[in-house]
Amino acid sequence: MSSSELAAAGARLVEAGLSPGSTGNISVLSNDDILMSGTRTSLGALTDDGIAVLDPDGRHLGGAKPSKEWPLHAAFYRRDTAFRAVVHVHSASAVAASCLEPWAEHSAVPPLTPYFVMRVGQTPLLPYRAPGDPKLGEDLFGCPWEIRAALLANHGSVVVGRDLDEAVDRAAELEEACRVALLTHGLPRRELDPDQVAELAHRWDSPWLEPAPLQ
């Protein structure tokens, strides 16, 4: 894994409009080390000098100063060794959805389209913490459900993937799911029913529980 792949993923996020004002951060595992965009770097113009190298516990091994949001990344890697890349963004629809009451405890975002269920899966809302608060990582690590994505209250989204391409695609799919949820918010909308969701989740091996939505 090279820093150029991290730069390419950053550029894709910017092109997709997911990094307003150069916000957000991305990382990828290289062996067991975390290569992560540095603090105050632009995701659209990442260079070798702008990439931090951390060990799995977050110790800074070299390169740029890491983003203060590194605990989010380390927590996702600790949860499941199959995941090799993390994307965290402050994209508008994900942020807006993170400011609403969650649809259900296990997913802030309702299952309105098959693609959200297949490609993202249940996406719980983690409680508000100031950016950089290490408790954000603890909240994510302690999340009791299988997840590949979460919303951070009044802040943004974080997703994982088996590689950078999958993580970037997942961040884009979650952004669209949040946008569709916002466009239909308050309207007499039709959600996928629990059987439809369960069938999709099973067929696509996507994480989704089936408790009733919060009232």
Distance (Å, whole) CA 164 – CA 86: 7
Residue 69 annotated as catalytic: yes
Q: Which of 5, 105, 115, 191 is catalytic?
A: 115
Q: Which of 69, 173, 175, 176 is catalytic?
A: 69
SS3 (DSSP) at 133: coil
Distance (Å) of CA 22 to CA 56, 83, 154? 25, 24, 18
Distance (Å, whole) CA 202 – CA 36: 33
Residue 115 annotated as catalytic: yes
- State the residue for tokens 């060990």: 55
Which long-range contacts does 186-193 make (Cβ < 8 Å, 24+ apart)?
A: 189/112, 191/110, 191/111, 191/112, 192/111, 192/112, 192/113, 192/114, 192/117
Taking alpha carbons only, the member of 180, 64, 25 closest to residue 115 is: 180
* Residues taking part in catalysis: 69, 115
